[in-house]
Amino acid sequence: MSRSCVWLRASAIGAAAAVLAACGSEPSPSNSPAAQSPSAQTSAVTPPTSAEAGMVIDVTVDKGVATPTNATVQAVAGEPIVLHVTSDAVDSLHVHSVPEHVFDVAAAPDQRFEFTVDIPGRVAVELHDLHVTVVTIEVRP
């Protein structure tokens, strides 16, 4: 094997190792969405537990503070989305999709609200009494 072929093979192996290392590393705090925007928080999204379970977004309201706030998640049109809510106050969750969905939130733990979004686009989910966007769901086809 010629010297240039050995160098190319070593370069390719090194590049592949660098790509794999980058894919497995944690983002630095300055690159995280929360660091870039003080009001943005990462949402708690649970992976599907079965083929029909879809995505689960955990929402907590505690002493007038909603978690997450201004989060962004990805979803697929037509797949179920579940809002798992624990709240210490009564409120209303409004899903700005077509058709819209409105869910009455009780002051109680472990509430489950399920819906689907059939039209791709950005869908805001808001808590009305707190006047806050909990999450924006980017729905793709």
**Lowest mean pLDDT: which of 34-38, 84-88, 99-103, 130-134?**
34-38
Mean pLDDT over 113-129 rounds to 97
The pTM assigned to this predicted structure is 0.65
What pLDDT, on a 0 to 100 scale, did the predictor assign at position 54? Answer: 80
CATH architecture of 39-140: Sandwich (2.60)
pLDDT at 116 over 50: yes
What is the domain partition of the chain in residue ranges? 39-140
**Lowest mean pLDDT: which of 6-15, 75-84, 118-127?**
6-15
Radius of gyration in angstroms for the set of CA atoms belonging to the chain, rounded to a whole number: 21
**Exposure b/e, 28-47, CB count within 10 A at least 16 = b:** eeeeeeeeeeeebbebbbee
What pLDDT, on a 0 to 100 scale, did the predictor assign at position 44? Answer: 54
d(CA 34, CA 48): 25
pLDDT band at residue 41 using 50, 70 and 90 as cut-offs? very low
Report the candidate in 43, 95, 94, 100 with the shortest Cα–Cα distance to residue 66: 43
pLDDT at 38 over 90: no
